[in-house]
Structure 1
Amino acid sequence: MKLSIIIPTYNEEEYLPNLLESIKRQDFDDLEVIVADSHSTDKTVEIANSYGCKIVNGGLPAVGRNNGARIATGEFLLFLDSDSVLTNDYLKQAVEEFELHNLGIAITQIVPLEKGFINELSHEFANYMTKKISAIKPHGAGCYGILTYKSLHEEVGGFDEAIDFGEDTDYIERVAKISRFKVLETPRLLISTRRLKEEGLKTIAWKYAKSTAYQLMGRKVTLKQLDYSFEHEKHNTRIFYSLCGEGLGHAIRSAVVIEFLINEGYDLMVFASDRAYDYLNAKFENVYYIGGFNTVYENNSVKNKKTFAYNMKDVPSDLKNNMSMMYKLARKFKPDIIVSDFEFYANLLSHMLRIPLISIDNMHVLTEARYSSPHKYLKDRIFSEAVVHAFIQKADRTLIYSYFYPELKNEGTKYVDPIIRDEIINLKSTVGSHILVYQTSDSNRKLIELLKDNPDKKFIIYGFHKDLRDDNLLFRTFSETQLYDDFRSAECVITNGGFSFITEALQLEKPVLSIPVNKQFEQILNAIYIDRLGYGEHHDTINQEILDNFLDNTDKYRKNIQNNFHKLKNNDETLNELKNAIDEVVGKNN
């Protein structure tokens, strides 16, 4: 046997057929193909068998390559990545040039499978740099194709399985010490740009520049140092995490959840729209932008008809673009479960691909609990409940963030404590002289006029997207660090009915005057329970009498909060509840 081709795989049903077809088309028959598979859960092994490949157990690349080489019968070994494709006459050209120059080990140059100026330029630059660096020190990677003699492979003891990154360069260096190395000029190997798409050119360039610098200095670099992973390494539970993008409440608590899940070893892809995307994308990798739904506000009121009209013009394109992107990523990433913080498209994807779904948000108290509310809100309640039903259907598990606990309808639904940022939990709260005003939208102009009519009081105001001092009013644009200080030292807060802000106010023992956005029943219900629990007051509108009465009673409300609200020392209980739900649902569906 002249040549043994060895291919490590893990869940490569999308790419492996292209490589095997390109091998089949070669004008080179004296070969065998060995697939070293790392327990794929898709059709990878079935595909390999259909092409007559030998199958061995794999693992990390070094393990798979060594296992393949162990059973190889060829004089030459060619190590290929599963997402590469051979150009015409690749094998013939590679072996002929290898023997012509009396080489012991060689790599080939690469061409991107996906055309485009950036792809082609970046790969040509990679070829150029590889040749330049190899003139100083033998250098290369598995994606270039590694060709050597089996006898030399055995002499150096194969790939070093203790190295989790750069094992290919280490291997090339060790074989080159006892033979000749060259970057072959004629054959070209087509390679996928999937990692370039997933991580971006800047990130990939930085990781490879760092690894090359380490290797030229004779230092080892690890996957952890590069924040790098191989597809076949992902034996952890894979999660699509998707969240509502309107406002920052969902994003702020999701940042805590996402960080926890990553630290627990889960593999995540995150989907968000609007401000939530901007907030999370600055903190994490693998955050994807999706189009989302937005509410139209006027004069502190939801305008349902305008909201419907505004969203309907974008829904057709959002539906197509979001589902296309999420579907393609799902095929590649193969999520074990979807976690949704009130995000519509994740729910659709769950039903389309039959992926288990966990819903965790504060909205489902509207549909999952038995509670009373004044009859004047009945129309708003019915509408809001219908929206919640439309957004999420038949979740495998439903967890509800809440600070109030009306009876639940279903045993499978459970209340969990609100997520509070560690920065808020660690603040030392004081009772200062200013009143913190936090608004979901900037449409409540009457509130601003009233506050200005109270020159003896100082108000610090967020939500109007400007930095401005106007007599006793200090407007601030959103800044977490500044907000923490203003929050910590406030006497009390005036807000809409946003759940996350209210729960953080209660954590800091700040009495709450809640004027929820008109017609937004979720906010209305939050405000109703602030009033019922004695933590503050709920009013549909505000006037001087209401403001005065609230300020006169802040000491009483603060004492009620201190005596009755469950202050958190950390988020462990809620986060572990979610972790247990994920593990149970995934385990049940495997």
Structure 2
Amino acid sequence: MKLSIIIPTYNEEEYLPKLLESIKSQDFEDYEIIVADANSTDKTREIAEVYGCKIVDGGLPAEGRNNGAKVARGELLLFLDADVVLTEGYFKEAIREFESENLGVAISQMIPLSTSRRDKILHEFANRFMILTESIKPHGAGCCGILTRKKLHEEVGGFDESLDFGEDTDYIERIGRISKFKVLRKPRLLVSIRRLEKEGLKNLAFKYTKSTLCDFLGKKLSASELNYTFGHSTKKRKRILYSVCGEGMGHAIRSGVILEELVKDYDVLIFASDRAYKYLKEKFENVHEIYGFNTVYENNEVKDLKTFLKAMKTFPRDLKENLSLLYKMARDFKPDVVVSDFEFYASLISNILRIPLISVDNMHVITQCNIEYPKKYRKDKLKAEAVIRSFIIRPKRYIITSYFFPKIKDPEKVVMFPPVLRKEIMNLKPYYGDHIFVYQTSKSNIRLLRTLKKIKRKFIIYGFDKDKTEGNLYFRKFNEDEFFKDLKSAAAVITNGGFTLISEALYLKKPVYSVPVKGQFEQILNAFYLEKLGYGEFHEEVDKKSIERFLEKLPVYRKNLEEYEGGDNIALIRELKRTIEELS
């Protein structure tokens, strides 16, 4: 066999298929692929198996490459990182140049997997630097692809596994001493810019300048000296700062489900405000209270001026105390990533301390997708976009939950999943009883109550914080067990446009009559898509006739809901963990 391709991996399910497809498309067949996997927690191994790769155990890159080389049958070894892609004709061009010049070790020039002019210039500069200095000192990095002869690999004893940084340059240098080294001129590799995106140009340039200078001076650096990681650690659990918006209960409920999974594998420091804090502190340790923003509602309408004045009254105190608390605790805790469920202050602290930020919420469907909406709500949309963009600043990844799926603007940064559901909801056995389930986030919607009294149906009502019966209206104080029982047996649901209850109702096949809070575009959008998909109705105002018509059409909506499939949370949790590993 001519060529053995060795790929060290750890949680590379996003990138590995692209590399393997590019290998498969080459006009060259005399090769084998060996994947040295460091116990990936995603589907990396399954992907490698599907493509017919030989799989061996890996570790840090040096160990993985050596383990792959031990089972290699090719006379030539090509070490590739998992996030590169081969250009057309790469194998033939690389081997032709390698053999014609009787080389012992070689690397390829790079083309960034980016449309950015800056990235192209930076990589071309790196190419020219490598060519300029190739006669001075053999050097290179794993991302450039390392092509060598198996007999030379064995002669130098492979990669030095005692080195946790620069093992690739050290390897090239040692083989270069006993053979000929060259930067190949024609074949090029398409390389990922994920580390550049993660660390930023300034940080990465400093690290590589320092490491290159030390290398040319003969000094070895460790990964810890450069704060350089390979996405996994065998010594300690990753650390996550997770912060949750306290407006309503939706953010807290979603975060509670996600945190139950994260605390199994990570050390998590949790911050939340208002109702989210009260909810989460009963479920988890290490939960800390911060101040949050609150919307002022009157008669099912957002009062913008009162909301603004209320926020401005406390903002100086909130900003000072929240940042002081978050800054001190983050510096002590040293999180690898920050995860925010639409929580403003964690977004700020991630940028101040330059810690990668992951956004997990339903709000960003407004800014990150090409949504449809009635044009008369354009002003509300613009207002919502401004708030969303100011709340969550420059996240590395957007993970959006939704029961509707408009086109994503930037699939490289944004992923969408079905709504996160509590296991209690997923375990319910729903049926259609005789009552209508009513939920309101504001206690001020008196018009709704007057209307419901005129309709000859039983209404079980949550959100008014009282246990009382008034004719056909049965008020309930919030109790989770009773809430689930009443929702499970409801004939239908009447609510605002709140995302969580609508999502849970749809999962249980309950038609929804939605009256979104005026001025609250997120709720308006939820109600619009609810009606568009045929799962219920969107109304600006509540009135007796429209509710009665809705109830008459319940068989139609129930039939439509038979096609609705909610998620099981697994895919979202897997993606979040994969992103945490990638960014940390």
Fold shared per TM-score above 0.5: yes
User: How much has 1:341 moved relative to structure 2?
Assistant: 0.4
Matched, 1:406 2:371: no
Select 2:581's aligned residue among 575, 583, 587: 583
Whether 2:474 is the aligned partner of 1:477: answer no
CA contact under 8 A between 1:418 and 1:574: conserved in structure 2? no
Residues 428-480 of structure 1, C-alpha deviations (whole Å, 9 max, x = no match): 000000000011111211001000112x2100000111111111101111111
Tell me, yes or no, if structure 1 residue 509 matches structure 2 residue 509.
yes
Q: What is the distance in 1 between the residues matched to 2:582 and 2:475?
A: 47
Secondary structure of 2:408's aligned partner: coil
Equivalent residue, structure 1, for 2:549: 549
Query: How do 1:218-367 and structure 2 match up within 5 A?
Result: 235-263=236-264, 265-367=265-367
Secondary structure of 1:271 counterpart: strand
Runs of 4+ with >3 A deviation? none
C-alpha separation in 2, matches of 1:576 and 1:440: 31
- The aligned amino acid for 2:579 is A
- AA in 2 matched with 1:262: V
Residues 404-431 of structure 1 show CA distances to partners (whole Å, capped at 9, x for unaligned) of 0111111211101210001100100000
Question: Counterpart of 1:496?
Answer: 496
- Taking a change above 3 Å as real, the CA distance of residues 359 and 448 of structure 1, as seen in their structure-2 partners, is same
- Residue 437 of structure 1 is matched in structure 2 by 438
What secondary structure sits across from 1:340 in the alignment?
Answer: strand
Task: Return the alpha-carbon distance in structure 1 between the equivalents of residues 482 and 266 of structure 2.
Answer: 32
CA contact (8 A) 1:234 1:267 kept: no
1:567 positional shift? 2.8
One-letter amino acid of the counterpart of residue 579, structure 1: K
The Cα of 1:372 is off from its aligned counterpart by 2.2
For residues 567 and 336 of structure 1, the distance between their equivalents in structure 2, rounded to whole angstroms, comes to: 31
Structure 1 CA distance for aligned equivalents of residues 554 and 441 of structure 2: 23
Q: Kindly tell me: are residues 541 and 391 of structure 1, through their superposed partners in 2, closer, same or farther at Cα, counting changes over 3 Å?
A: same
Does the aligned pair in 1 maintain the 2:418–2:566 contact within 8 Å?
Answer: no
- Whether the 8 Å contact between 1:246 and 1:274 is mirrored in structure 2 is yes
Question: Which whole-Å CA distance do the structure 1 matches of 2:507 and 2:339 have between them?
Answer: 26
Q: Do the aligned partners of 1:338 and 1:358 also contact (CA within 8 Å) in 2? A: yes
**Partner AA of 1:366 in structure 2:** I
**DSSP 3-state at the match of 1:354:** coil
CA RMSD of aligned residues (A): 1.3
> Could you say which residue in structure 2 is the equivalent of 1:389?
389
Alpha-carbon distance in structure 1 between the residues aligned to 2:311 and 2:558: 41
> Which amino acid is the alignment partner of residue 535 of structure 2?
Y
**Higher CA-based Rg:** 1
Cα distance in 2 between the residues matched to 1:493 and 1:439: 11
Output the amino acid matched with 1:353. Answer: L
Partner of 2:569: 571
Alpha-carbon contact 1:340-1:360 (below 8 Å) kept? yes
Deviation (angstroms), 1:314? 0.8
Q: 1:309, CA displacement in angstroms?
A: 0.3
Q: In structure 1, how many angstroms separate the alpha carbons of the residues matched to 2:322 and 2:263? A: 24
Counterparts of 1:314 and 1:522 in 2: how far apart (Å)? 25
Give 1:532 shift.
0.2
Specify the alignment match of 2:28 in structure 1.
none
Q: Distance in 2 between matches of 1:531 and 1:271?
A: 35
Taking the aligned partners of 2:566 and 2:319, their CA distance within structure 1 comes to 41
**Closer/same/farther in 2, CA of residues 488 and 234 from structure 1, 3 Å limit:** farther
Q: Which runs of 5+ in 2 are unaligned?
A: 1-233
2:126 is aligned to none
Match of 1:415 in 2: 416
Checking the alignment, whether the CA contact within 8 Å between 1:460 and 1:474 is kept in structure 2 is yes
Q: What secondary structure is seen at the aligned counterpart in 1 of 2:464?
A: coil
Looking at structure 2, the residues matched to 574 and 426 of structure 1 have their Cα atoms a distance apart, in angstroms, of 19
**Quick one: distance in 1 between partners of 2:542 and 2:325?**
45
- Taking the TM superposition and a 5 Å limit, the aligned residue runs for 1:447-486 are 447-454=448-455, 456-486=456-486
TM-score (norm 2): 0.59
Deviation at 1:371, TM superposition (A): 1.8
CA contact (8 A) 2:299 2:445 kept: yes
Do the aligned residues in 2 keep the contact of 1:438 with 1:495 (CA within 8 Å)? yes
Partner SS state of residue 537, structure 1: strand
Q: Which amino acid aligns with 1:483?
A: F
Match of 1:114 in 2: none
CA distance 1:384–1:498, change in 2 (3 Å): same
Structure 2 matches for 1:54-203, cutoff 5 A?
A: none
Deviation at 1:234, TM superposition (A): 8.0
CA deviations over 1:340-367 (Å, ceiling 9, x no partner): 0000001100110000000010000010
Distance in structure 2 (CA, Å) of the matches to 1:520 and 1:273: 20
What is the identity percentage for the equivalent residue pairs of Structure 1 and Structure 2?
54
Query: 1:302 is paired with a residue of what secondary structure?
Result: coil
Contact 2:419 2:566 survives alignment (8 Å): no
The aligned residue for residue 183 of structure 1 is none
What's the TM-score once normalised by structure 1's chain length?
0.59
- Cα distance in structure 1, aligned partners of 2:468 and 2:555: 30
Contact kept? 2:437, 2:461, Cα under 8 Å: yes
Partner-residue secondary structure (3-state), 2:513: strand
Letter matched to residue 571 of structure 1: N
Deviation by residue 1:153-201 (Cα, 9 ceiling, x = unmatched): xxxxxxxxxxxxxxxxxxxxxxxxxxxxxxxxxxxxxxxxxxxxxxxxx
The whole-number CA distance in structure 2 between the counterparts of 1:494 and 1:514 is 6
Aligned partner of 2:362: which letter? N
Q: CA deviation at 1:558?
A: 1.0
Report Cα offsets for 1:199-255 as digits up to 9, x if no partner: xxxxxxxxxxxxxxxxxxxxxxxxxxxxxxxxxx98211000001101111111111
